Chains A and B, each alone.
Chain A
Amino acid sequence: MIKNFDCKQYEKEYDEIRLSQTEKNIIKANMNLAADGILKKNNKHNFSVNIKIIQAVAAALLVAVICTLIYISPDFSGNSKNYFTIVANAAENSTTSTNIKEIYSGISTSGYISDDKAPNKQGKYDFFSSFDITDFRIKGHNIKSITVKSNKNFCYFFLDYQADLTKFSDCNTLENSQYTSRELANFGKFGQLCCDGFTYTVEPSENEQLIQLGGLFSYMLETDRTDNEIDSYLTEYESLETPKYEIRQKRHKEYGDDVAIYLTDEEIEIENKQSLCTDKFIEKTLDGATIDIIVNYKDGTSAKTKIDVDYIVENSNGDIIFEAGTDYYNLNDCERKDCYPHIVFRYK
């Protein structure tokens, strides 16, 4: 019978979860094979080509020529037409009507720009919320690149550390922020690069394409403290920091770090109030926010669509979702969008 969370026991159990030496060897072998392939492709100074490589290259060229001939042939009746569609996942897509679709944002995080809360030009502290866009995909044909642009002040993107920057271009303007990209980068919390929009270059070899943009970038909001309404939410949020801190300090003194880490009802109540302030700031900031998706085709033409961005703070039962507190937890069935406030990209 478990009476409490025993971190030593957790550690002991996890020690047993490990790869076997055989599995490690398989991974190493696979990686060495993969590394070999990549190295040979990238090493321009390696002239020690052998006959097998020449044969392979010749075969590849032949296939490429045949494919090109088929592609440009006027008699070819395949899918050479330019098109694209934004792909939503049925399981995650809470379609509210037949022609409205949604992309669920994924996990959100909120906080000050730095722990020492560097003040902005007005001497106040800016608050940020970022949303992981994990399932954003575009399916299409003949796509050369995709341009994504945020149309609202204080709303922009940052490229994840995982993103391959060689595939991204035009991520160089940041007019939607009060900060420069360099300033944000110096805070070290917001991915590799922040910008109002970017262009993602698609692999040229693919024709019928399913392009996964999800996981490569996040959507970011920051506070406009010159806006009275937003400023009032943030002022209320900040006014709750001191009582929260005092309660925590008192409990730390009484019980020590280990016990005090549990939140009391009083702390939960404060955190819920703060969550409401955050919700209001995000809702206000996102009011009227849209994103342009421009798909550039290989033949030089392009197509554009506009996506609405909405903040969702209610679960499917219509109850307000709080970040803090215990009331809303439905631990058996609360893994995704019913548990956390999130944004959705709505498109038609």
Chain B
Amino acid sequence: MQNPDNFISGAVETYSDTIYKIAYNITCNREDALDVCQDVFLRLIKNKHKIRDDSHLKAWLIRTCINCAKSNVSQSYKKHRVPIENADRLSYCDSHDSMIDLVFRLPEKYRTVIHLFYYDRLDISEIANILSLTKSGVKSRLARGRTMLKDIIEKENYV
């Protein structure tokens, strides 16, 4: 049997950046993303008996990360407050000089699909499984997300 400590450490080493980036994509905030990251691995400790293999582990971590990050956003939304130390990050999210900022302007459901597709290079069926969507649902979100990006660029006079 695999040493549990090694299993968790290995998972952190291999997937923490992926999880962190997805969490950042949803929370738009590095500190929240770090919290989400820890939360995801804590859940992994409790649920590691459910993990079948490496590909299942990755899908499980991504799905759990999305849920935790949504929950985190929901909690932040409830609080209606932003710690002063995050003010710089807010302004970063609101600035318009990078692709990340551009994607941050999309509603969460579109930017998650865009991130998984363009950054994590998951294919449509993998994304569909992770997000419990149909393949056409994923394609539709990708299409709409890109249309919206185009609209933002035009509306914000990028061109």
List of A residues within 8 angstroms of B64 by Cβ: 161-162
Q: Given contacts A14-B100, A214-B71, is CB(A23)–CB(B34) below 8 Å?
A: yes
Complex CA distance for A179 and B78, rounded to whole angstroms: 38
Chain A residues within 8 Å of B77, by CB:
91-92, 336
Which B residues touch A215, using CB under 8 A? 67, 70-71
For residue B86, CB closer than 8 A to chain A, the reply is no
| A and B contact pairs by CB, cutoff 8 A, 7 listed | A4-B150, A9-B99, A11-B119, A27-B12, A106-B70, A160-B67, A324-B144
State the CA gap A24–B19 with chains docked (Å). Answer: 12
Given A31-B12, A262-B146, A331-B152, A13 contacting B46 (CB threshold 8 A): no
A30 within 8 A of B: yes
Q: Are A24 and B150 in contact (CB under 8 A)?
A: no
CB pair B46–A38 under 8 Å, yes or no, is: yes
In the complex, A13 Cα to B142 Cα: how many Å?
Answer: 20
Query: In chain B, what residue has the closest Cβ to A38?
Result: B45
Give the shortest distance, in Å, between A266 (CB) and chain B (any CB). Answer: 13
Q: How many pairs of A and B residues are in contact by the CB < 8 Å rule?
A: 173
Answer whether A2 and B153 are a contact pair too, CB < 8 Å, given A27-B38, A31-B42, A134-B70.
yes
| Nearest 3 CB-CB pairings of A with B | A111-B134, A10-B99, A7-B118
Give Cα distance in the complex from A263 to B108, angstroms.
20
Find residues 1-52 in chain A having any chain B CB closer than 8 Å to their own CB: 1-7, 9-11, 13-14, 17-19, 23-24, 27-28, 30-32, 34-35, 38-39
**Are B109 and A107 closer than 8 Å at their CB atoms?**
yes
Given contacts A18-B21, A334-B107, A111 and B129 within 8 Å (CB-CB)? no
Residues of A whose CB lies within 8 Å of any CB of B are: 1-7, 9-11, 13-14, 17-19, 23-24, 27-28, 30-32, 34-35, 38-39, 89-92, 106-107, 109-112, 114-115, 130, 132, 134-135, 160-162, 164, 188-191, 214-215, 261-263, 271, 324, 326, 329, 331, 334-336, 339-340
Inter-subunit contact A39/B21 (CB<8 Å): no
Residues of A within 8 A of B134 (CB): 109, 111-112, 114-115, 189
By a CB distance below 8 angstroms, the chain A residues around B60 are 161
Known: A17-B20, A28-B12, A262-B150. A109 touches B132 (CB 8 A): yes
Interface residue tally for chain B (C-beta within 8 Å):
70
Contact of B78 among A5, A18, A91, A334 (CB under 8 A): A91
CB distance from B117 to the nearest CB of A (A): 9
Pick the residue among A10, A134, A339 that contacts B119 (CB under 8 A). A10
Cβ of B93 within 8 Å of any chain A Cβ, yes or no, is no
> In this complex, what residue of B is CB-closest to A334?
B107
- The answer to whether B21 and A5 touch across the interface, beta carbons within 8 angstroms, is no
B125 CB to nearest chain A CB (Å): 9
Q: Which residues of A contact B136 (CB under 8 A)?
A: 111-112, 115
- Name the A residues within 8 Å of B105 (CB-CB): 331
Q: What residue of chain A has the Cβ atom nearest to residue B134's Cβ?
A: A111
B20 engages A18 (CB within 8 Å): yes
Chain A proximity of B22: nearest CB distance (Å): 10
Nearest chain A CB to B100 CB, angstrom units: 5
Asked, given contacts A19-B37, A23-B34, A28-B9, whether A14 binds B144 with beta carbons under 8 Å apart, the answer is: no
